[in-house]
Amino acid sequence: DAGITQSPRHKVTETGTPVTLRCHQTENHRYMYWYRQDPGHGLRLIHYSYGVKDTDKGEVSDGYSVSRSKTEDFLLTLESATSSQTSVYFCAIKSSGSYNEQFFGPGTRLTVL
Amino acid sequence: KNEVEQSPQNLTAQEGEFITINCSYSVGISALHWLQQHPGGGIVSLFMLSSGKKKHGRLIATINIQEKHSSLHITASHPRDSAVYICAVPVSQSGGGADGLTFGKGTHLIIQP
């Protein structure tokens, strides 16, 4: 399972509150990703990181920020959650090298009321 | 940006049937990924391929780089194969996957006993 954990696994929150999701990996992989999965849209890239303090935006980055202060942790923050951010969030990692697979965490189900 | 189309969106078959799921993409790639997701479950990488064919048990994946097309086949299908199968390619040709993946919307497969 490539040693990826996500926390929390489930969260219910209210509109306007800040939320932080954590992705933790134990194998020192350089690349980390946050995706969201929604019916009708499939999986979409939110943000990604290519090293400590090195991050970039993905397809659906509006309303989200990320931080990576340590190799093993990649945090996704919703500064002010909205109902449109209700989704399942998956973290993934990829080893260095262009052809390596991505491995996914177990997911976090977030509901914004 | 790469665009990914999968077909069919839904597929119901009888146990033992030969299954084919198709994936087309718009921009040349370094490698294509096939993923599996069981209901309520995590995402598992089945194959990553850049040319030709790969086989793992009853699963076979092929890719035609010139035609920008890949297929996933399941031989002697079984109810435990019921899942969503997702095709994914790198976001950009130059990124090689470091900048994340773009996904098809998935094929929802049901194998009836």
Total length of chain B: 113
- Tens of pLDDT, residue by residue over A40-93, are 899 999 999 999 999 999 999 999 999 999 999 999 999 999 999 999 999 999
Q: Which residue has the higher pLDDT, A97 or B37?
A: B37
Write out chain A residues lying below 8 Å of B94, CB-based. none
Residue A35 has pLDDT above 80, yes or no: yes
Write out chain B residues lying below 8 Å of A48, CB-based. 99-100
Interface test with B, best of A36, A38, A43 (most B CBs within 10 A): A43
Question: What's residue B28's pLDDT?
Answer: 78
- Tens of pLDDT, residue by residue over B14-70, are 999 999 999 999 887 878 999 999 988 899 999 999 899 999 999 999 999 999 999
Among A79, A95, A104, residue whose Cα is nearest residue A15: A79
Q: Does residue B43 sit at the A interface (CB-CB below 8 Å)? A: yes
Among B79, B76, B82, residue whose Cα is nearest residue B38: B82
Interface test with A, best of B43, B65, B84 (most A CBs within 10 A): B43
Residue B98 has pLDDT above 90, yes or no: no
Residue A106 has pLDDT above 80, yes or no: yes
Here the tokens at position B4 are: 């990914």
- Band of residue A2 on the pLDDT scale cut at 50, 70, 90: low
Closest partner residue to A101 among B30, B48, B104, by Cβ? B48
CA A8 – CA A108 distance, rounded (Å): 6
As a 3-state breakdown, chain A gives helix, strand, coil percent values, each rounded to 5, of 5, 60, 40
Distance from CA of A33 to the nearest CA of B (A): 7
Distance from CA of B18 to the nearest CA of A (A): 25
**Cis (ω within 30 of 0) for the bond into A39?**
no
Average pLDDT, chain A: 93
